[in-house]
Chain A
Amino acid sequence: MLTSREKLDDRLPGAARAWLDEALAEAAHAAGRPDADTGNPPWELRFVSAGRHCGPEHADAVRVLLLVEARPALPAVTRLYEQGTAAERRAVLLALHRIEFGPAALGLVEDALRTNDTRLVAAAVGPYAAAHLDAHGWRHAVLKCLFTEVPVEAVDRLADRARGDAELARMLEDFAAERTAAGRTVPADLRTVLALTAAPAPAPTEES
């Protein structure tokens, strides 16, 4: 989904490519010294200004590459999120599953799911949420997507987690009934997810 380093190299003009090379070198340098987090390491300024150097259409991909390269510890990644613009926060969310945090960074996902910014909501329901959100939080995340019209394709491992989820099915049916009572159409995505819940549950292996 995110543009790879190779594709970025093809698409970025020369000056931006050189900028990205330097930025990644700075990020790699920071990764060598975990949490010497005094002042802001230079790669963080690259993270912040990626949009204007590489173009807004590549900002997500470039920021995620920088995060993966720098592998910031949880306090640093939390600070980057909290002090970030919406675009920077989205990049943090998109990178979470590619840095080793375990469930410790879940608070950032929950923060994003409380917003009504669909760019953040969509980024919050990726692989990290699929791995770590508990059943209640995950069901509400799916419902939030339906409410804010974030396409449910954004929800990672949707079929896996929805399968056999009777409680999710109940919530979806209640929501559909509410929409119908109001004379409003039921979103097509709701039917899609409802159909997924009807599949039989797999043998228990996953679910933390």
Chain B
Amino acid sequence: MRIFDPHIHMTSRTTDDYQAMYDAGVRALVEPSFWLGQPRTSPASFFDYFDALLGWEPFRASQYGIAHHCTLALNPKEANDPRCTPVLDALPRYLVKDSVVAVGEIGYDSMTPAEDTALATQLQLAADHGLPALVHTPHRDKLAGLRRTIDVVRESSLAPERVLLDHLNETTVRDALDSGCWAGFSIYPDTKMDEDRMVTVLRNHGTDRILVNSAADWGRSDPLKTRKVADTMLKAGFDEDDVDQVLWRNPVAFYGQSGRLQLDPTAPGPLHEGNSILRGGE
């Protein structure tokens, strides 16, 4: 079984997680830039973070046979802090990098005017750079937030099939799919969305344009949730091809719109077989 986790924050995870993910079948992932838990106070902190998503983290992933890509953006929460908004001006030089496969996570957190500006600006940046966009839907006031998000997408120059609406649930899936966007579901160990409910969503709405992710980060989360959904699908009567569509072909099709996916993690040349994450000079 091959698995593509289309949304996971590996910066916050250990090498044991990489190993367990590989053992579970994960061969590719996308790490969206997001909030780190601790608010940042200057653009330079973002740049170091972006550089890690373009340097150290793909290196770590490659040591475990996993292809690493990222999405870059100013996230909605920090879009409200004027100390951070200059990140928007620097994004163009990052969005041209080879392993950037979308602009994201963008979207709404508290639905403020600053978030309106950041969302519209970054949808335009995605259109300008030939990239799709990963759009997070708010955890609070989710349905209203989703509808407002869809309105902003409609007004943007980005086609809906180049937009992935994420963190959906039973109450938002219909509107999301009707909009023409792709629909992402984050499976958590708590009540936001679990694997059994996910399988019910798939039964009710089919397997087209639906992606499943672990959204694992520094919070309570589980990087193996993608595999658990796959197993639950098989138990519920879906076949291997359905599983492959949801957990591999759909994310490949969505992020493939960037033209930048490199799914062979064995790319580095003869000098680069040197292995694990060793602490040189320790």
Report the Cα distance A49→B98, complex, angstroms.
6
Complex partner residue of B277 from A49, A116, A123, CB under 8 angstroms: A116
Does B274 count as interface, using CB distance less than 8 angstroms?
A: yes
Task: Assess whether A116 is in contact with B96, with CB atoms less than 8 Å apart.
Answer: no
Instruction: Quote the shortest CB–CB distance from A53 to chain B (angstroms).
Output: 9
Report the Cα distance A73→B141, complex, angstroms.
53
Residues in A whose Cβ lies below 8 Å from that of B237: none
Complex partner residue of A151 from B98, B99, B271, CB under 8 angstroms: B271
The prevalent SS among residues of B at the interface is loop
Task: Assess whether A87 is in contact with B281, with CB atoms less than 8 Å apart.
Answer: no
Those of B251-282 within 8 Å (CB) of chain A: 259-260, 262, 264, 267-269, 271-282
Complex partner residue of A87 from B98, B273, B275, B276, CB under 8 angstroms: B98
Assuming the contacts A49-B98, A60-B269, asked whether A150 and B274 have C-beta atoms less than 8 A apart, the reply is yes
Residues in B whose Cβ lies below 8 Å from that of A149: 274-276, 278
Does A119 count as interface, using CB distance less than 8 angstroms?
A: yes
Does A86 count as interface, using CB distance less than 8 angstroms?
A: yes
Task: Assess whether B267 is in contact with A148, with CB atoms less than 8 Å apart.
Answer: no
Report the Cα distance A73→B273, complex, angstroms.
32
Complex partner residue of B56 from A59, A83, A117, CB under 8 angstroms: A117
Report the Cα distance A180→B275, complex, angstroms.
21
Report the Cα distance A6→B147, complex, angstroms.
55
Task: Assess whether B267 is in contact with A57, with CB atoms less than 8 Å apart.
Answer: yes
Residues in B whose Cβ lies below 8 Å from that of A60: 269
Does B58 count as interface, using CB distance less than 8 angstroms?
A: yes
Interface 1/0 per residue, B52-86 and A, CB below 8 Å: 00111011000000000000000000000000000
* CB closest chain-B residue, reference A85: B54
Report the Cα distance A11→B275, complex, angstroms.
28
Task: Assess whether B274 is in contact with A122, with CB atoms less than 8 Å apart.
Answer: yes
Task: Assess whether B278 is in contact with A56, with CB atoms less than 8 Å apart.
Answer: no
In this complex, the member of B272, B277, B280 whose beta carbon has the largest number of chain A beta carbons within 10 angstroms is: B280
Assuming the contacts A45-B96, A51-B262, asked whether A144 and B267 have C-beta atoms less than 8 A apart, the reply is no
Complex partner residue of A119 from B99, B271, B277, B278, CB under 8 angstroms: B271
Report the Cα distance A122→B272, complex, angstroms.
7
Task: Tally A residues with Cβ within 8 Å of B.
Answer: 33
Residues in A whose Cβ lies below 8 Å from that of B55: 85-86, 89, 117
Does B13 count as interface, using CB distance less than 8 angstroms?
A: no
Task: Assess whether B274 is in contact with A144, with CB atoms less than 8 Å apart.
Answer: no
Interface 1/0 per residue, A147-158 and B, CB below 8 Å: 111110010000
Does B40 count as interface, using CB distance less than 8 angstroms?
A: no
Report the Cα distance A93→B259, complex, angstroms.
27
Instruction: Quote the shortest CB–CB distance from B268 to chain A (angstroms).
Output: 6
Does A52 count as interface, using CB distance less than 8 angstroms?
A: yes
Complex partner residue of A150 from B56, B98, B271, B276, CB under 8 angstroms: B271
* CB closest chain-B residue, reference A86: B55
Does A99 count as interface, using CB distance less than 8 angstroms?
A: no
Residues in A whose Cβ lies below 8 Å from that of B51: 85
Does B220 count as interface, using CB distance less than 8 angstroms?
A: no
Does A118 count as interface, using CB distance less than 8 angstroms?
A: yes
Assuming the contacts A86-B54, A117-B56, asked whether A48 and B96 have C-beta atoms less than 8 A apart, the reply is yes
Report the Cα distance A52→B54, complex, angstroms.
15
Residues in A whose Cβ lies below 8 Å from that of B205: none
Excluding A148-B280, A150-B274, 9 further A-B contacts by CB distance (< 8 Å) are A51-B98, A52-B259, A52-B260, A56-B264, A85-B55, A116-B277, A143-B281, A147-B278, A147-B281
Enumerate 22 A-B pairs (CB-CB under 8 Å) in ascending A order.
A45-B96, A49-B96, A49-B98, A52-B98, A56-B262, A57-B267, A86-B54, A86-B58, A89-B55, A116-B56, A116-B278, A116-B280, A117-B59, A123-B271, A144-B280, A144-B281, A147-B278, A148-B280, A149-B274, A149-B275, A150-B271, A151-B274
Q: Which 6 A-B pairs have the closest CB atoms?
A: A118-B274, A86-B55, A147-B280, A51-B98, A85-B54, A56-B267
